[in-house]
């Protein structure tokens, strides 16, 4: 029988994902000392994704109670929605009190971004999306897949290793009214360099004047200054502006990566607008995946509802943040002993990433020669360092930095 060419004959290879594609390469690598500093995951000093004690306790209580698995509502588990809304906005926030905030459970932070992107596309189809340069590697493809034209605003300055703040503001003043501006609420991914304190006032002023729609990506609560402190940016946006979106992830803060626990918050001008927003978010969820998974959301809701478990959670987040900070110090110390280049900027960066300043060629060489995997932009996940791999990583970075341009250009086989 002759096989006819099907429609699938036109399918082309899609590009490899910059982050998860690297994990695939890492998993396939037989190198005995391989280290994955690619994906943004917090590991403990044993190199394991931790099961937080607060999560274990909540999970055991749920299992002991024998919870059935019905469908959740389209917008998620009600206790979870209530708890995460109060976690983000704090008690008595005026926007919440006025009924201006819509909260829906989302399939991780990425799910929150995508539902938010689809929602904006429907009601502002001509809007462009402005991303920081650089930004999280999944932002551009995610908003492109949602049909948006992507622009960037200046952000990181490799020379000062700080923010190009003046240029950033100047660019924002020229952004057409009604555009979407994606901002990182804390622990900027990939640079670890944040907009701070009064700088946010200036950003908010321009966002208000230009009538831009801010979309905050908030995936690292507690890894910056603290659980409460890191939420302040979203609280201020909700208070000062008539419209804002926040996508939140609990993957890192609860170490619940595979449970896909996230949320999307939409702040509207008044409660009438908020009701319309909710009806549309529900429709978007229903036509994509119907309703979200329940187990992780039940765990987060249970932890946040119990004063004892909540206090334990805050303590455990502090523990993770402190370990990341100590890994930054240890790495800088080790590099100092090996090479003259100054890496002390790693100590100033916040969150679980460090923008190492290594070039694309150096990152590829480090992967091919030493099986130390980092993102080709130069981003390394410092939360994946531990007392056993620190020396090897420092050796690999030092050896890579010493490679000549010619050596960097050589393919692996010749290395």
Q: What is the smallest separation between the CB atom of 117 and ligand LMR, expressed in angstroms?
A: 15
Q: Is 112 in the site for ligand LMR (CB under 6 A)?
A: no
Phi and psi torsions of 11, nearest 5°: -70, 130
Instruction: Return the number of the residue (19 or 243) whose C-beta is nearest ligand LMR.
Output: 19
Interface with ligand LMR (CB under 6 A), residue from 26, 36, 40, 118: 40
Tokens of 342: 């100054």
Helix, strand and coil percent figures for the chain, each rounded to 5: 50, 15, 35
Nearer to ligand LMR, 179 or 251 (CB): 251
Interaction pattern, residues 184-213, with ligand LMR; x per rule: CB under 6 A: -----x------------------------
Grouping H, G, I as helix, E, B as strand and the rest as coil, residue 158 is: coil
Q: Does 354 participate in binding ligand LMR (rule CB under 6 A)?
A: no
- 25 vs 339 by CB, closer to ligand LMR: 25
CA–CA dist 266, 252 (Å, integer): 22
> Measured from the CB of residue 76, what is the shortest distance to ligand LMR in angstroms?
20
- Taking CB under 6 A as the rule, does residue 136 contact ligand LMR? yes
Could you tell me the smallest distance in angstroms from the CB atom of residue 311 to ligand LMR?
A: 27
- 221 near ligand LMR, judged by CB under 6 A: no
Nearer to ligand LMR (CB atom), residue 135 or residue 179: 135
Alpha carbon distance 116, 121 (integer Å): 9
What's the min distance (Å) between Cβ of 69 and ligand LMR? Answer: 25
Figure out which of the listed residues 138, 253, 294, 349 binds ligand LMR, where binding follows CB under 6 A: 138
Return the residue nearest ligand LMR (CB atom).
Answer: 40
Q: Least CB distance from residue 285 to ligand LMR, whole Å?
A: 20
Q: Is 43 in the site for ligand LMR (CB under 6 A)?
A: no
From CA 34, how far away is CA 93, in angstroms rounded? 47
Check binding of 253 to ligand LMR (CB under 6 A).
Answer: no
Q: Is 132 in the site for ligand LMR (CB under 6 A)?
A: no
Nearest distance, CB of residue 163 and ligand LMR, angstroms: 19
List, as one string, the DSSP characters of 112-156: HHHHHHHHHHHH-TT-EEEEEES--TTHHHHHHHTT-EEEEEE-E
Instruction: Tell me whether residue 40 or residue 76 sits nearer to ligand LMR (CB atom).
Output: 40
Closest separation in Å from C-beta 109 to ligand LMR: 7
Q: Does 343 bind ligand LMR (CB under 6 A)?
A: no
Evaluate whether 354 touches 382 at the Cβ level (below 8 Å).
Answer: yes
The reply to whether 142 sits near ligand LMR by the rule CB under 6 A is no
Q: Which residue has the tokens 């360092």?
A: 385
Residue 167's alpha-carbon distances to 133, 175, 248, in angstroms, are: 12, 13, 28
Where b means 16+ CB within 10 Å and e means fewer, 61-95 reads eeeeeeeeeeebebbbbeebbebbbebbbeeebeb
Q: Which is nearer to ligand LMR, 219 or 244 (CB)?
A: 219
Q: Which is nearer to ligand LMR, 117 or 175 (CB)?
A: 117
Residue of 39, 73, 169, 399 interacting with ligand LMR (CB under 6 A): 39
Does 19 bind ligand LMR (CB under 6 A)? Our answer is yes
290 closest CA partner among 1, 71, 67:
71
Residue with tokens 């490799």: 158
| Interaxial angle between packed helices 307-338 and 53-65, expressed in degrees from 0 to 180 and rounded to the nearest 10 | 140
For residue 252, what are the contacts with CB-CB under 8 A and spacing of at least 6? 40, 41, 42, 219, 220, 223, 352
224 scored as a contact of ligand LMR (CB under 6 A): no
Q: Establish if 302 lies at the interface with ligand LMR (CB under 6 A).
A: no
Between CA 378 and CA 401 the distance in angstroms is 12
Q: How far is the CB of 386 from ligand LMR (least distance, A)?
A: 18
Q: Which residues bind ligand LMR (CB under 6 A)?
A: 19, 39-40, 110, 136, 138, 189, 219
């Amino acid at each position: 029988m002759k096989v006819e060419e099907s429609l699938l004959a036109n399918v082309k290879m899609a590009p490899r994902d910059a982050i998860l594609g690297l994990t695939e390469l890492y998993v396939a690598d037989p190198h005995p000392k391989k280290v994955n500093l690619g994906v943004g995951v917090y590991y403990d000093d044993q190199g394991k994704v931790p099961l937080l004690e607060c999560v274990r306790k909540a999970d055991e209580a749920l299992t002991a109670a024998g919870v059935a698995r019905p469908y959740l509502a389209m917008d998620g588990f009600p206790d979870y929605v209530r708890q995460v809304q109060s976690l983000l906005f704090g008690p008595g926030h005026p926007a919440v009190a006025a009924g201006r905030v819509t909260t829906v459970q989302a399939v991780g932070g990425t799910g929150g971004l995508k539902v938010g992107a689809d929602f904006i596309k429907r009601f502002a189809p001509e809007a462009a999306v402005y991303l920081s340069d650089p930004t999280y590697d999944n932002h551009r493809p995610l908003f492109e897949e949602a049909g948006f034209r992507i622009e960037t605003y200046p952000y990181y300055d490799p020379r000062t290793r700080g923010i190009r703040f003046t240029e950033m503001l100047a660019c924002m003043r020229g952004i057409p009214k009604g555009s979407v501006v994606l901002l990182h609420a804390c622990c900027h991914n990939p640079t670890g360099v944040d907009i701070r304190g009064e700088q946010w006032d200036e950003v908010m002023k321009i966002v208000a004047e230009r009538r831009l729609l801010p979309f905050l990506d908030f995936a690292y609560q507690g890894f910056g200054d603290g659980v409460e402190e890191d939420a302040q940016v979203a609280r201020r946006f909700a208070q000062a502006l008539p419209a804002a979106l926040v996508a939140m992830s609990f993957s890192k803060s609860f170490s619940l990566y595979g449970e896909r626990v996230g949320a999307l918050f939409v702040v509207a001008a008044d409660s009438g607008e908020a009701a319309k927003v909710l009806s549309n978010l529900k429709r978007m969820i229903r036509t994509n995946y119907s309703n979200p998974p329940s187990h992780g959301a039940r765990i987060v809701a249970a932890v946040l509802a119990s004063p004892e478990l909540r206090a334990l959670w805050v303590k455990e987040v502090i523990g993770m943040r402190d370990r990341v900070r100590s890994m930054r110090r240890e790495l800088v110390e080790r590099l100092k002993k090996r090479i003259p280049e100054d890496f002390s900027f790693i100590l100033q960066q916040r969150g679980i990433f460090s923008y190492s300043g290594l070039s694309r060629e150096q990152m590829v060489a480090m992967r091919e020669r030493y099986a130390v995997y980092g993102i080709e932009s130069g981003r390394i996940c410092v939360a994946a360092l531990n007392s056993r791999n620190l020396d090897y990583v420092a050796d690999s970075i030092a050896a890579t930095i010493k490679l000549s341009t010619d050596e960097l250009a050589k393919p692996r086989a010749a290395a």
